[in-house]
């Protein structure tokens, strides 16, 4: 095999995805089971606790004390012929910005829905983000071992609320204490559920044919009802269409219980068969195909290093084309500089062939000593910039004040860095010396104060401030823009990235400003 065809083969094995769900739907549990199938971990130990040999910084301790996961990480595992990259997203709502950006680095998502609760708020929001890029979505209706809602109703809800057609691949045979298994509508096979196999890879006990004596024995009194229901399901739901799925218009639906590790294997089998191979990405200049041989990638997340001995941070990069190999030189496009990278973190559990190497679709972690920002592009020399990495207008604001006024410089530096890595947003009003911190969720404020103290030795306190929302402003008409800037100076500030921003005390104020200055664009998101 030539080197180039080996590379193409390697790329085509990749399946890079993230799990989206409302908190508590079972994302963590299903992640554990997926890793179990991928043999990345022997028993489905807690992913959340991340107990391991790595010492944790205080920052991580805080995260653990709160019992929530605020950082995303990458898990790679082989399954069948594929190399699967699973990007973890923080479950807590306050860190949704991180989640949104992680979604720019995947090629498809798995949506986990609690069978008793159906479609919940956060799933709706995350779906909106997936829709921006028509990301293919596979669905898993979880917790069938509990009393759930009528699965037909849940399917209807997916279609109506999430505006995507839903095609059941398998159908649950009962639920709660009557849950007997799932029936594959395409292969006419029942996969039998047995309790108590959650911590292992369960045996796949199959019954061929819904009209077989074994099926009748399994289903007992419920047989007739189930036959009728399946008849109805066949008539009333969509048939799976691969192209529709890949276009983001249809979601194949699987049922099961993550806790019981049942239905997960069927879902994973469907996933590795249908999920898209690495998809190319748009840049300011041209579309980069994942099969392009020249190296390229972009940074979608920056995370405090888990090792407290190193004060640096890890920048997570999605490789979009070509190969990363240890010691290679890459162009940091924004700085116009070539950098030699010999210590990137790769995530290669179980994949011996490609240790120290990563190809399109993979994620690598670069040590960042303050020169890398979210959205940065790296290439083999070409001046490209990947587009579409969002930055959301914060919804919550506080004025930040120093306990020791002599530390202003350190405070500014800390806030600048924390805003570059996306942990918060910082605003400097044009008309006064306040420093305003903005967040998407309230927990972010606490994290910022903690990290300022821990990492920058700055003690700061927050004060309430009367701001309801922020909009990045721009205008093609220089004269009109000057007038706007003069009249609205009270509300204007410069954000951490140097962009002019309008801070509105109320939503009504924002609407009025938008009406009064129709030439000015008020943007709720901006690109990195």
Please enumerate, by residue number, every residue annotated as part of a binding site for GTP. Answer: 21-28, 88-92, 142-145
CB of 65 to ligand GDP, least distance (A): 17
Residue 28 engages ligand GDP in binding (rule: CB under 6 A): yes
Q: Could you give the strand order of the β-sheet that contains 296-304, starting from the edge strand earlier in sequence? A: 337-341, 328-332, 377-379, 296-304, 313-321, 363-368, 345-346
Residue 303 engages ligand GDP in binding (rule: CB under 6 A): no
Residue 21 engages ligand GDP in binding (rule: CB under 6 A): yes
Q: Quick one: which of 50, 117, 146, 480 contacts ligand GDP (CB under 6 A)? A: 146
Query: Closer to ligand GDP at the Cβ: 14 or 143?
Result: 143
Q: Residue 339 phi/psi, 5° resolution?
A: -125, 145
Q: Which stretch binds ligand GDP (CB under 6 A): 17-25, 237-245, 287-295, 349-357?
A: 17-25
Whether 129 and 157 have beta carbons less than 8 Å apart is answered as: no
Tokens of 316: 């997570």
Residue 265 engages ligand GDP in binding (rule: CB under 6 A): no
> How far is 494 from 431, CA to CA, in rounded Å?
11
Closest CA to 355 of 78, 87, 107, 105: 78
Tokens 């991928």 map to which residue? 38
Cross-strand pairs, 346: 364
Residue 24 engages ligand GDP in binding (rule: CB under 6 A): yes
Q: Residue 329 phi/psi, 5° resolution?
A: -100, 135
Residue 365 engages ligand GDP in binding (rule: CB under 6 A): no
Residue 44 engages ligand GDP in binding (rule: CB under 6 A): no
> How far is 78 from 14, CA to CA, in rounded Å?
9
Residue 73 engages ligand GDP in binding (rule: CB under 6 A): no
Q: Which stretch binds ligand GDP (CB under 6 A): 27-35, 238-246, 421-429, 459-467?
A: 27-35
Query: Closer to ligand GDP at the Cβ: 195 or 466?
Result: 195
Mark 102-141 with x for binding to ligand GDP (rule: CB under 6 A) and - for no binding. Answer: ----------------------------------------
Using CB under 6 A as the binding rule, the residues of this chain from 241 to 260 that contact ligand GDP are 257-260
CB of 380 to ligand GDP, least distance (A): 38
CB of 195 to ligand GDP, least distance (A): 11
> How far is 296 from 290, CA to CA, in rounded Å?
9
Tokens of 30: 């299903």
Closest CA to 33 of 264, 349, 271: 264
CB of 122 to ligand GDP, least distance (A): 10
In 296-388, at which residue ranges do the beta strands (DSSP E only) sit?
296-304, 313-321, 323-325, 328-332, 337-341, 345-346, 357-359, 363-368, 377-379
CB of 176 to ligand GDP, least distance (A): 9
> How far is 118 from 176, CA to CA, in rounded Å?
15
Query: Closer to ligand GDP at the Cβ: 142 or 189?
Result: 142
CB of 92 to ligand GDP, least distance (A): 9
Residue 29 engages ligand GDP in binding (rule: CB under 6 A): yes
Q: Return residues touching ligand GDP (CB under 6 A).
A: 21, 23-29, 91, 142-143, 145-146, 257-260
């Amino acid at each position: 095999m030539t080197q180039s065809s080996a590379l193409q083969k390697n790329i085509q094995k990749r399946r890079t995805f993230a799990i989206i769900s409302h908190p508590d739907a079972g994302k963590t549990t299903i992640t554990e089971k997926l890793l179990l199938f991928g043999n990345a971990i022997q028993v489905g130990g807690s992913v959340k606790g991340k107990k391991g040999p790595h010492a944790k910084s205080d920052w991580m301790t805080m995260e653990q004390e709160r019992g929530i996961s605020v950082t995303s990480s990458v898990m790679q595992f082989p399954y069948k012929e594929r190399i699967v990259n699973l990007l973890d997203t923080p479950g807590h709502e306050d860190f949704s910005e991180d989640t949104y950006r992680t979604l720019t680095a995947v090629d498809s998502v798995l949506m986990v829905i609690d069978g008793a609760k159906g479609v919940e708020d956060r799933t709706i929001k995350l779906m909106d983000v997936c829709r921006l890029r028509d990301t293919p979505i596979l669905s898993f209706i979880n917790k069938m071992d509990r009393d759930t809602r009528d699965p037909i109703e849940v399917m209807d809800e997916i279609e109506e609320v999430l505006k995507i057609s839903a095609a059941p691949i398998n159908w649950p045979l009962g639920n709660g204490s009557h849950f007997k298994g799932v029936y594959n509508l395409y292969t006419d096979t029942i996969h039998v559920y047995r309790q108590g196999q959650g911590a292992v890879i369960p045996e796949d006990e199959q019954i061929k044919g819904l009209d077989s004596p074994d099926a009748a024995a399994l289903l007992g009194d419920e047989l007739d009802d189930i036959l009728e229901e399946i008849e109805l399901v066949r008539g009333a739901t969509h048939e799976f269409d691969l192209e529709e799925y890949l276009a983001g218009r249809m979601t194949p639906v699987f049922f099961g219980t993550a806790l019981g590790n049942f239905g997960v294997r069927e879902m994973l089998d469907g996933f590795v068969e249908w999920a898209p191979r690495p998809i190319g990405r748009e840049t300011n200049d041209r579309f980069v195909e994942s099969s392009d041989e020249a190296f390229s990638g972009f940074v979608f997340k920056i995370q405090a290093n888990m090792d407290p001995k190193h004060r640096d941070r890890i920048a997570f990069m999605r490789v979009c084309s070509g190969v990363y190999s240890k010691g290679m030189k890459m162009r940091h496009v924004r700085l116009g500089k070539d950098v030699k990278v010999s210590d990137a973190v790769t995530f290669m559990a179980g994949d011996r062939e490609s240790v120290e190497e990563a190809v399109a679709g993979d994620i690598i972690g670069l040590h960042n000593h303050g020169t890398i920002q979210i959205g940065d592009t790296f290439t083999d020399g070409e001046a490209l910039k990947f587009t579409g990495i969002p930055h959301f207008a914060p919804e919550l604001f506080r004025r930040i004040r120093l306990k020791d006024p002599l530390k202003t410089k350190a405070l500014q530096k800390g806030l600048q860095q924390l805003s570059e890595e996306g942990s918060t947003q910082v605003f400097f009003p044009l008309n006064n010396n306040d420093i305003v911190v903005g967040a998407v969720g309230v927990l972010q404020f606490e994290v910022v104060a903690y990290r300022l103290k821990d990492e920058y030795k700055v003690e700061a306190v927050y004060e309430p401030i009367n701001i309801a929302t922020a909009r990045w402003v721009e205008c093609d008409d220089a004269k009109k823009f000057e007038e706007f800037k003069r009249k609205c100076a009270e509300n204007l500030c410069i954000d951490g990235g140097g962009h002019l921003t309008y801070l509105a005390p109320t939503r009504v104020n924002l609407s009025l400003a938008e009406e009064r200055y129709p030439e000015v664009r008020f943007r709720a998101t901006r690109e990195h």
